[in-house]
A and B are shown apart, each in its own frame.
Chain A
Amino acid sequence: MSESALFTAAFVLYILSAFVYLSFLMSGKEKGARTALALAVAGLVAHTAALIVRTVESGHAPFTNMYESLSFLSWAMVLAYVLIGRRLPIPRIGAYIMLLVVALVALASSPLMPKEAAPLVPALQSYWLWLHVSVTLLGEAFFAVAFVAAIFYLRAKTEEKRQAMDAVSYRCVAVGFPLFTLGGLVFGMVWAYKAWGTYWSWDPKEVWSLITWFVFALYLHTRIVMGWKGRRSALVAIIGFLAALFTYFGVNYLLAGLHSYA
């Protein structure tokens, strides 16, 4: 199957999953949550195949322009949700995760995003492209799940649900923050040193990664040392995700810099 057919199949499965999750939210029937998860996993499989086909056809990592990196980020979000969902009972946030994924995939599919796989410019020809981008986006995907759980926390009506969402949010940050640090900052510095001759140049993307890092450092310190849990912690997680989103997306369109790939 072609990449675009697989990608479309994943898109359709994600939409179906989001719908079934939404109807599960209304009805509360456990069976609905299981069906929705199965649809999300099926979408993930199709999406994985699409990424593999694209990698084979283009001969390079599937995240070198905005279309590719949006596609990879939405893939990573579904993966993060499925992985976290194996450890914690979180079918209720599934609907919002899948809606966010559908929005990202729709954005990737829009005519705004050129889809041609262009040959790699010299600066991107490095195995660090794989390590730096995939690990960073995976970390950001966990931030996205933490964000959705934090929103749910603020909207939850019972203490039991709030506690569950607080735990999910923290668990996601506990996975996402080390990944983001390793992929975004550590691997980023190593690659910058190899490609540009300097590990840090205060480029806007670097600075915004650092700002995101500061926010999640705040999250951990206020939580672990100062005992912030619940509402205030949820707000910090939301700000952290927004900073990560701006690092990923806003910097490219609003601030000029060295990092003008995707």
Chain B
Amino acid sequence: MKSLWQFFASVKLAIVLLILLAVASIIGTLIPQGLAPAAYEAHYGQLAGLLMRLRFTGLYHSLWFLALLLLLAANTIVCTLSRLPAKWRRAFRSASGETTLSSVLAMKIKGRFGRNAPAASVASDIGAALASRHYSVSSKPGGDRTVLLARKRRLGHFGSDTVHLGLLVILAGGLVSGLGGFRTQLALSEGETAQVPQAPFAVRLDKFETEYYPQGAIKDWKSTVTVVEGGRPVRKGIIEVNHPLSFGGFSFYQTSYGWDWSKPRLEVVITKTGDPAFSRTVRVGVGQRVPVEDKDVTEIGVVRFVPDFVIGEGNTVQTRSEAPNNPAALIEGWKGEEKVFTGWVFANFPDFTQMHSGPETDLHFVLKSYEAPQYSVLEAARDPGVVLIWAGCVLITGGFFLAFYWPPREIRAVLEQSGSRTEAALGGHAGKNREAFEAEFENLIDALRRS
């Protein structure tokens, strides 16, 4: 047990663990994380199996990475605790009768003076001078020797401990988030309501807007939502990027958006070769047929629509993305109940339109406009670890301040009275920022000598 304690009390262990964590983290940024096994096989060949077995492909969530973090946590706890008692004594012990004139005069920063007055009165003068410089003074009057111990900024001793505590709290927060957190995405069209999993309420999207800058770039996405609980609206709010909505332990974030291309509203303009007077504009949806007053073609219909047309594997039509980069509609022409032609019409390439599968038609089609209902993707997240994370951040920030900018100071004074004369010696100690302390100490001694 004792040797285990000693193992974890070593700063060398901390250094080894920090190096291992740094190296592991670097590896995790060089190997893409969380891809499908096939992607690793394509990229790394035979090495892929080994990388996946070692969890290098999901490194930050692997058990061995977690183990390194937990080892560092144990190391931090033991190191901090084993150094704490000495620091505590240094900061809070009382003046000791064993402090002698010569021990004080052996300190690096020191000074002495004598005065024709009793020790008690000199001690009270020194105490007052120290108190006016914001020192808290502990005194131990004795028969022939009076000892004063004055300190200020005692919290400065605990800067690194506070940082360590903050790190442990953050690590705990990470564990709580990982174990107790829950997140899911809700894709909602306007008017649609979705039950939030693991919550007794639902979210309805009332309105979704995309705002643009005058130059055309996207400025913001705004989802106006209503939280519905037990069939009653309980909260209304607007969710924007950087402005989540919080309700019932959940936060809702604007994460994405898209179009529901299964229900497009299309506008097709039909013209006829050799008949400049012929022009029809029809509005049509997928699976609908609309009449066209022509002798060869009585109706047209739209069979399919894709937002980003591409010919994929096996010569099939696919969509490359959900963004309307290359919108295309598959149009059919009917004469009574006989299908007379089929062909793709491209919004961005009106001249590319090809009609085939049947007798040639002298009709010409242009996909003038295409619209689809937009949906908004909201992320619903419940993260009970966040409170710990923020608490840890506050501790770390405060700890750094204490460690670097709140240097503790200590002044010891010993007074020895012989007859009516009292000899006083003062010694000072400062771990950091010694120059400033020396100046303060000189100033104190001068003031005491003069008074």
Contacts and interface: CB of A to CB of B under 8 A. Distances in A.
A195 B393 contact: no
Interface of A is mostly: helix
B22 interface: yes
Task: Report, as a range, how many residues of chain B touch the other chain.
Answer: 35 or more
A127 to B, nearest CB: 9
Contacts of B383: 198
A122 B255 contact: no
Contacts of A186: 393, 396-397
B217 interface: yes
A218 B13 CA distance: 11
A150 B21 CA distance: 25
A122 B18 contact: no
B25 A210 contact: yes
B417 to A, nearest CB: 41
B67 interface: no
B389 A121 contact: no
A122 B221 contact: yes
Interface in B3-22: 11-12, 14-15, 18-19, 21-22
Nearest to B432: A174
A121 B217 contact: yes
Task: Report, as a range, how many residues of chain A touch the other chain.
Answer: 35 or more
Interface string B236-274: 000011111000000101010000000000000000000
Nearest to B214: A119
A119 B15 CA distance: 45
A261 interface: no
Given A119-B217, A221-B14, A194 B397 contact: no
A207 B14 CA distance: 19
A106 interface: no
B401 interface: yes
Contact of B241 (A122, A181, A217, A226): A122
Nearest to A122: B241
B242 A221 contact: no
Interface in A188-241: 189-190, 193-200, 202, 204, 207-208, 210-211, 214-215, 217-218, 221-222, 225-226
A112 interface: no
A123 B217 contact: no
A222 to B, nearest CB: 6
Interface in A124-158: 125-126, 128
A128 B243 CA distance: 12
B381 interface: yes
B211 to A, nearest CB: 9
A178 interface: yes
Contacts of B25: 207-208, 210-211, 214
Contacts of B174: 200
B1 interface: no
Given A123-B241, A177-B400, A199 B389 contact: yes
A119 B214 CA distance: 10
B218 A178 contact: no
Nearest to B60: A202
Contacts of B400: 177-178, 181-182
A121 B14 contact: no
Interface of B: 11-12, 14-15, 18-19, 21-22, 25-26, 28-30, 33, 60, 174, 183, 213, 215, 217-221, 240-244, 251, 253, 255, 379, 381, 383, 386, 389-390, 393, 396-397, 400-401, 404
25 contacts: A119-B217, A121-B218, A122-B240, A123-B241, A126-B242, A128-B242, A181-B397, A181-B400, A186-B393, A186-B397, A190-B390, A194-B243, A195-B241, A195-B253, A197-B244, A197-B251, A197-B255, A197-B381, A200-B174, A202-B28, A214-B18, A215-B22, A221-B18, A226-B11, A255-B30
Instruction: Kindly list the 4 A-B residue pairs having the minimum CB-CB distance in the complex, ordered from nearest.
Output: A122-B241, A178-B400, A197-B253, A214-B22
